[in-house]
Structures are given as structure tokens and as C-alpha cells.
Amino acid sequence: MEIRKLEVTENGKTRPLYEEVFREDSQGFVDYYYTEKTKDNQIYVIEEDGGLQAMLHLNPYELMVNGGKKDVDYIVAVATREPYRKRGYMGKLLRKALRDMYVSGRSFTFLMPASEAIYTPYDFRTVYEQERKLCPQREPGTLAFEDGRVCRISPAGEADMKELADAANQKLSSDYQVYACRSEAYYRRLKKEYASDGARLMIYRDGEDIIDCRPYIPDEQPEEAVPKIMVRIIDVRRILMSVQLKSLAAVCFQIIDSIIEENNRCVVVTGTEFSGVMLMDGKPENSEGTVTISALTEFLFGVKTVEEICMEEDVQMTERMKEEMRKIIPLSQVYLNEVV
């Protein structure tokens, strides 16, 4: 059994495994995925008995996090061939990928789980439920928008790409702390993704201004469950440096991470609402508490309060530490609607 990261030129070798495991995906979508997404993603595999028996894909995204750009990997297509399941292959691939992401300077990673219980032991936590809004009509026309405006709808064309990206970034930056950066290339790829399943990207205009875009999907059936997004902190120092503070803060605490050893450290978080977070190494004897990497994820992404994470196993805080932690402004405004 060997774990390795494929060269980009080898990525196509995983297609038979993808088609075997993800049988619900259409031929058109698989063609799109192996034409577009594998141009620049990283694929980890386990080779055994002369073949590829398990895989994990890292699809790169540029995210905005509190106004700063960060390269973040989206974990997708985690799969093991049926005869090789229950051997811990997924865990081995995850651990290898997480370690490599740390080395490459990533702050965090995210995924859309088939089941949250699969990834909870690896310290992933759910931070967002995706919002899926569909266009109810295919042909150009008008539609009463939700807020009462009457909008003109038309299929997105090449001439619309820059305007669409600019409008989306302006809207997202005003409403969210964490989101994928939009660009002309982003929307060209999204158009191809929708087209792979017979859908079209439709633009909503109020007068001449783009105010939204949605897919028109023929014969779309309502989803039984809302897709969720789980996040896992990769480098605790980098993510702490990305948050903002309400007021002057200073606190020292210990972090516990069972997978990424470098995150097991004592840190001193200081700063003001003007400077942002300043981070230093702390001394264990000065620590005011202990926080697990999973609890810190829930807190920093606004899923749980200080009081709620203090009820979790291995989390301890002095009363003063609780007061200082409340000065951190969580990354609670998240918009990660990407599929692959």
C-alpha cells in the first residue's frame, strides 16, 4: 500500500474510480470535471494490488477572509473502491492532505460531507448550510423579484463575465466575511459546470445593473437535505491572524490538535479593534486555559459561543480568559456555495 500525490498529468487515471463510486453523477458532469477541474487540482491516491484503490481531491479556491485573499483547498471526491473499504484508507489520505496543506501555508480547508459523522473525528465542524436559489424560467423575460423589483432575465454570455464578477464581489464583500473570490474565469467555469448537466447560468438585471445570477436547471427536483459545509483549521496561527477584535484584548492559552502537531502550542493573542490580532508564542505556565482545534473552529466561525465550547471535552477557560475571548469577532458571515 502506497500513498502519493499524483502529478497533474496523471489526474485522469482516477476517472475509472470516480465513475465507479459516484454513479449518480451524469456523464456530462464527469466529462466537465475531468476536463476542467483536474487541470489545476491535486489528487492524493492509495495504490495497492497494481491499481488506484482510494483517492482524495483538493480543488483550489481563492477566498476572501475579512478582506484578505487566501488560497484554500476544497476537499472533494473522497472515495475508496468497495473491496478496499474499512481499512482506514480515507483517514490516511485525509491526514496526509492536511499535513501537506499545513506545509503549503493554508489557513483552513472545507468540504461538503456525505455524512457529518465521517469527518467529525478529524476535527471538521459544520459552519454553513448552502443556499440554492434557482431561476424558474429559461427564456429571456421578466420576473417579479423577491423585494418587489421587476427584473430582466437573460442567459449569461461572454460579454457579461467581467460585469458579473464585479457585481458579485461588490455584493459579497458588503454582506460576508468569508466567500470565494469571483472572476471572469470563475464564471466561465461555472457556466461550463451548469451546462454539463443541461443547465444555464441566468443573469438578473434591474435596469442595466446586474443584481443576481442563478442557474436554470430543467426538471430540477427539490433537494431532500440542505448541503452543508464543514471547515477544519489547518494553521491555527494564520486563522487567528485573520480575525478582528472588538476592543483591547490580551490572553494566553494552549491549543490541542491530534492531527497537525505544529498546532499544539501555547499562544498569546493581543491587539485592538484598530490593529487586529497580534500573535506571539506563550509559556505554558502563563496559560489561562486549553482549547481543542475543533472547539476553536466552532468558535472562530461563529457556530458556538465561548460558553458553549467550554462545555466540550478538553476545553477549559478561566473567567478572565472567557472575557478576553468574547472580544474576538467570529467569522460568522460565510458564503461557500461551491459544489466542486
Least confident of 45-54, 82-91, 208-217, 311-320: 208-217
Quote the pLDDT of residue 138: 57
Q: Count how many residues are written for the chain.
A: 340
Torsion angle of alpha carbons 333, 334, 337, 340, nearest 10°?
Answer: 170
Is residue 47 over pLDDT 90?
Answer: yes
Quote the pLDDT of residue 224: 66
User: How far is it, in rounded angstroms, from Cα 269 to Cα 318?
Assistant: 15
Quote the pLDDT of residue 144: 64
Per-residue model confidence as pLDDT tens digits over 299-308: 999 999 999 9
Quote the pLDDT of residue 139: 63
Q: Which three cell numbers stand for residue 52?
A: 488506484
Quote the pLDDT of residue 151: 87
Quote the pLDDT of residue 223: 64
222: confidence class by pLDDT, cuts 50, 70, 90? low
Q: Which three cell numbers stand for residue 262?
A: 505544529
Is residue 228 within 8 Å of residue 112, measured between CB atoms? yes
Q: pTM for the full model?
A: 0.95
Q: Which three cell numbers stand for residue 181?
A: 473570490
User: How far is it, in rounded angstroms, from Cα 257 to Cα 99?
Assistant: 12
Quote the pLDDT of residue 173: 98
Q: Which residues in the chain belong to E strands, given as ranges?
A: 2-5, 42-48, 51-65, 68-80, 108-111, 125-129, 141-144, 150-155, 178-180, 200-206, 209-216, 228-233, 244-245, 249-256, 266-272, 276-281, 289-292, 316-317, 328-329, 334-335
Q: Report the percentage of the chain scoring pLDDT > 90.
A: 89
Burial class (CB in 10 A: 0-12, 13-18, 19+), 316: middle
Is residue 147 over pLDDT 80?
Answer: no
Is residue 80 within 8 Å of residue 93, measured between CB atoms? no
**Domains in the chain, ordered, with CATH?**
2-106 (3.40.630.30), 141-222 (no CATH), 235-329 (3.30.1050.10)
User: How far is it, in rounded angstroms, from Cα 317 to Cα 327?
Assistant: 15
Per-residue model confidence as pLDDT tens digits over 264-286: 999 999 999 999 999 999 999 99
- Name the residue with cell 456523464: 27
> Pick the residue with more confidence: 135 or 314?
314
Is residue 142 within 8 Å of residue 152, measured between CB atoms? yes
Mean pLDDT of the residues in the chain = 95
User: How far is it, in rounded angstroms, from Cα 312 to Cα 293?
Assistant: 12
98: confidence class by pLDDT, cuts 50, 70, 90? very high
146: confidence class by pLDDT, cuts 50, 70, 90? low
